[in-house]
């Protein structure tokens, strides 16, 4: 069988963020891949081929830890309700269940960091003592 009679070879490759496809005869394949790989490596040294959006770093923080940070920032210098705390945490990108926030607030009251005033379902939480600066 002659070289022209063989069907062309199709190769798909991905190097980093770059994908390319080659279609050529079998005897041209090694040279074509070599040229593409050397070009991709040279370009990668010069500048990124595709700039990716920077992903936010993952934050593994406890609900109680986030509320303690609010206390350290002086956020509890004025009394706040459960919904206020829950909303502020969500605004900062921490989406915890309201019951988890309520339990963390109770733990901080027991730890002597916050104080709780009011009636059930209407409690207001405030700093019991100011954070050490």
Domains of the chain by residue range: 7-46, 63-127
Q: What is the mean pLDDT of residues 103-112?
A: 95
């190769």: which residue's tokens? 11
Of the listed ranges 33-37, 113-117, 124-128, the least confidently predicted one is: 33-37
Q: What pLDDT sits at residue 109?
A: 95
Helix (H) or strand (E) run with residue 21 in it = strand 18-24
Percent composition of the chain: helix, strand, coil (DSSP 3-state, to 5): 45, 20, 35
Helix 98-110 and helix 82-91, axial crossing angle in degrees, nearest 10: 110
Q: What is the mean pLDDT of residues 76-92?
A: 95
**Phi and psi based region of residue 24 (left: phi greater than 0; alpha: psi -120 to 50; beta: remaining):** beta
Partnered with residue 19 across adjacent β-strands are 14
**Phi and psi based region of residue 125 (left: phi greater than 0; alpha: psi -120 to 50; beta: remaining):** beta
Q: What is the mean pLDDT of residues 4-18?
A: 77
């963390």: which residue's tokens? 104
HSE on the CB side for 94, CA within 13 Å?
20
Of the listed ranges 22-31, 37-46, 109-118, the least confidently predicted one is: 37-46
What is the Cα–Cα distance from 126 to 19, expressed in whole angstroms?
56
Q: What pLDDT sits at residue 92?
A: 92
CB contact at 8 A, 69 and 131: no
Please determine, looking at this structure, whether the domain spanning 63-127 carries the CATH number 1.10.10.10: yes
Q: Which one is predicted more confidently, 10 or 58? A: 10
Computed over every residue of the chain, the mean pLDDT equals: 84
pLDDT band at 86 (very low <50, low <70, confident <90, very high): very high
Q: What is the mean pLDDT of residues 50-63?
A: 65
6 pLDDT exceeds 70?
yes
Tokens linked to 100: 């988890």
Q: What pLDDT sits at residue 49?
A: 46
């Amino acid at each position: 069988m002659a070289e022209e009679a063989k069907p062309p070879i199709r190769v798909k490759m991905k190097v980093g963020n770059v994908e390319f496809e080659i279609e050529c005869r079998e005897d041209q394949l090694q040279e074509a891949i070599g040229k593409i790989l050397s070009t991709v490596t040279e370009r990668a040294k010069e500048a990124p081929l595709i700039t990716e959006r920077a992903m936010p770093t993952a934050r593994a923080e406890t609900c109680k830890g986030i509320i303690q940070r609010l206390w350290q920032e002086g956020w509890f210098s004025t009394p706040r309700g459960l919904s206020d705390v829950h909303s502020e945490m969500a605004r900062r990108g921490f989406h915890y269940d309201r019951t988890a926030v309520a339990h963390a607030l109770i733990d901080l009251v027991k730890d002597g960091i916050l104080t709780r005033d009011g009636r059930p379902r209407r409690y207001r939480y405030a700093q019991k003592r100011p954070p050490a600066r």
